[in-house]
Amino acid sequence: MNGTPQNEIAEEYRCVGLSEAGRILGVCVRTVTREIQRGRLRAFRVGRKWKIQMCELRRYMQGTGMGAIHV
């Protein structure tokens, strides 16, 4: 990110799939899916695929004490 407000906002609302979310969180795809099913991680579907906003990954990590996201 180059630090402009527009880029920071765009990054917060960028969506990732289950695989990328798992990589960011350091867990497998099945764990990400379980956390969504349990209501601990907010996600939405686009067709058959799950999407998760970066701001939701940050919220989840702060709530679980996992620390900062390194993308």
Q: Which domains does the chain have, with CATH numbers?
A: 5-64 (1.10.10)
A 10 A CB-CB count for 51 gives: 16
Between 61 and 9, whose confidence is greater? 61
pLDDT given at position 10: 67
Cα separation, 2 vs 57, whole angstroms: 21
Residue 5: per-residue pLDDT = 73
Strands of the sheet with 44-46, listed across from one edge:
15-16, 49-53, 44-46
The Cα 52–Cα 40 span in angstroms is: 12
Q: What whole-number distance in Å separates Cα of residue 14 and Cα of residue 34? A: 22
Range with the lowest mean pLDDT among 6-10, 11-15, 17-21? 6-10
- The values of phi and psi at residue 11, to 5°, are -65, -40
| 14-62 pLDDT per residue, tens | 999 999 999 999 999 999 999 999 999 999 999 999 999 999 999 999 8
